[in-house]
Amino acid sequence: MTRQPRIDVADRYYHCINRANARLKINFQEKDFRLFINVLSDAQEIFSTNIVAYVVMNNHFHLVIKTKHDKELSKFMKWLTVVHTQRWHKDNGTIGTGHLYQGRFKSFPIKDQKHLETVIRYVERNPLTAGFVDDVLDWRYSSLYQRYVTKTNNFNGNVAIGLSNWPCEDPIGYLENLIKPLSNKELAKSLEKEMEL
């Protein structure tokens, strides 16, 4: 079966995800999460891609990005996953042992403003949905933590992501709304079924 052509055009928002091989953990401790965030920051600097939201989980990541150029999405994501894999293997003494990610990344074009808000909420509440935290603001490896807790592009003396502003003001009551589970309609709208790897 042939692959569907990927939509990769300038000036669009995308939800991107990738998961580790066999759904195994690749982020065990602070240094592992920081490694991914540092690589993401490097990718952003090289490609000037706008990162609106992100979350790094134990075995996968989510990004909400906006591209500036045609074909930027594929170049950005390829660089991110290849370089992260190389640095992860070097850091863990496993160079030459194979792929880190189970396959090519998934990306979903975001249709409109309301869809964008729903996807950002889906991404930023992922640690709460997974049961990793009781308070979504406690998950330190996300745009939510960076934007609302540290309020900076610096994370404990380390580089953090230069987050792009939302195309509108944060929705009124966003933090309060974030702790509420997404409705079935919102889940369907955020493409949850398609996002499962």
Q: Which tens digits make up the pLDDT trace of 144-178?
A: 998 888 876 544 445 557 777 776 666 667 888 78
Q: Facing residues of 158 across strands?
A: 155
Q: How far apart are CA 143 and CA 164, in angstroms?
A: 10
Sorted by where each begins, the domain ranges of the chain are 13-195
Q: In the numeric block, which tokens belong to residue 101?
A: 């990610």
Fold of the domain spanning 13-195: Alpha-Beta Plaits (3.30.70)
Q: Using the 8-state DSSP alphabet, how is residue 148 labeled?
A: I
pTM as predicted: 0.86
Rounded CA-CA distance 52/65 in Å is: 5
Please give the pLDDT value at position 190: 62
Q: What distance in Å separates the CA atoms of residue 73 and residue 14, rounded to the nearest whole number?
A: 8
Query: Does the pLDDT at position 194 exceed 60?
Result: no
Confidence of residue 13 (pLDDT cuts 50, 70, 90): very high
Is the per-residue pLDDT at 179 higher than 90?
A: no
Q: Which residues contact 156 (CB under 8 A, 6 or more apart)?
A: none
**Rounded percentage of the chain residues whose pLDDT exceeds 70:** 85
Say what the pLDDT of residue 151 is.
72
Q: Is the pLDDT of residue 72 over 60?
A: yes
CA–CA dist 96, 62 (Å, integer): 26
- Buried-exposed string 87-118: b where 16+ CB fall within 10 A, e elsewhere: bbbeeeeeeeeeebbeeebbbbebeeeebbbb
Residue 166 is predicted with a pLDDT of 72
What is the predicted pLDDT for the residue at 125? 92
The pLDDT, as a whole number, for residue 23 is 85
Among 3-12, 16-25, 65-74, 80-89, the range scoring the smallest mean pLDDT is 3-12
Residue 192's pLDDT band (cuts 50, 70, 90):
very low
- pLDDT, residue 170, reads 63
Distance CA 26, CA 98 (A): 13
Q: Three-state DSSP class for 19?
A: strand
Percentage of the residues of the chain whose pLDDT score is greater than 90: 52
Cβ partners under 8 Å of residue 61, min gap 6 = 17, 18, 36, 54, 55
Over residues 106-121, the pLDDT tens digits come to 999 998 888 898 899 9
Average model confidence (pLDDT) across the chain: 84
